[in-house]
Amino acid sequence: MPPQPIRSVAVFCGSRVGHDPVYAAAATALGVGLAAAGIRLVYGGGGVGLMGIVADAALGAGGQVLGIIPEFLQRREVAHAGVGEMVVTQTMHDRKRRMFDAADAFVTMPGGLGTFDETIEITTWRQLALHDKPILICDVAGWAQPYLASVEAAVDQGFAGAECLQLYEVLPDVDAVLARLAALPSPAAGQPERV
Ligand code: AMP
């Protein structure tokens, strides 16, 4: 079977907008770009922060959006009322699992601790060969540099192998992320996933 294109992408990003308006602009561009490419947005289901912005942008551009939110966060993260499909999970772990299952690839946008957590977890699962889905980090205005530096420090200190640096790709902006998604094949169907 010929390689299939990426059809569904999980986006990890902040439940806040950050100080620099460039982050919100990038989230808008990503939502619009995913919709234009016919790629479904899978995200944490919130209506706040960059999460809400990326979802609003995708919906506004006619895109397909799947939100996945834990019951206890529906109020705090203002569960988005307008997404096409919303899954309410019992736990954070269920949320991450459902987001993983629904995605062919992952994109990390600017965010805080939750964004780091989601990115690290999906990367460590790949390190353990539990999946082989692409992980793209969008380094909007250099926001990811401190995160990347801590991964590189772990390699320098002998706590991670240099091959860890191949588990993810760093793209400078949303245009580069969209171009990469268009070029990437979807992970082969039937490939073992043991997460
Ligand atoms: P933040 O980057 O901290 O604004 O969080 C972004 C998203 O990650 C929010 O939807 C959080 O609910 C979510 N999040 C925070 N901690 C975790 C976690 N341990 N596992 C999964 N998602 C999380």
Q: What is the CATH number of the domain that holds 87?
A: 3.40.50.450
Q: Which residues does a 6 A CB cutoff place in the pocket of ligand 1? A: 14-16, 44, 46, 49, 73, 77, 92, 96, 111-115, 117-118
Decide if 10 is inside a domain.
Answer: yes
Decide if 142 is inside a domain.
Answer: no
Q: What is the token pair recorded at 62? A: 């006619």
Q: Count of domains in the chain?
A: 1
Decide if 18 is inside a domain.
Answer: yes
Decide if 47 is inside a domain.
Answer: yes
Report H helices in the chain.
Answer: 21-36, 49-60, 92-102, 113-127, 145-156, 174-183
Distance 2 CA to ligand 1 centre (A): 36
pLDDT in tens, the chain (195 residues): 778 999 999 999 999 999 999 999 999 999 999 999 999 999 999 999 999 999 999 999 999 999 999 999 999 989 999 999 999 999 999 999 999 999 999 999 999 999 999 999 999 999 999 999 999 999 999 999 999 999 999 999 999 999 999 999 999 999 999 999 999 988 876 555 666
Distance CA 155, CA 152 (A): 5
Decide if 46 is inside a domain.
Answer: yes
Residues spanned by the domain of 40:
1-109
Decide if 145 is inside a domain.
Answer: no
Main-chain dihedrals φ then ψ at residue 157, nearest 5 degrees: -85, -5
Distance 117 CA to ligand 1 centre (A): 7
Decide if 82 is inside a domain.
Answer: yes
Which ligand 1 atom sits nearest the alpha carbon of residue 96?
Answer: 21
Q: What is the token pair recorded at 96? A: 């991450």
Decide if 187 is inside a domain.
Answer: no
pTM given for the model: 0.95
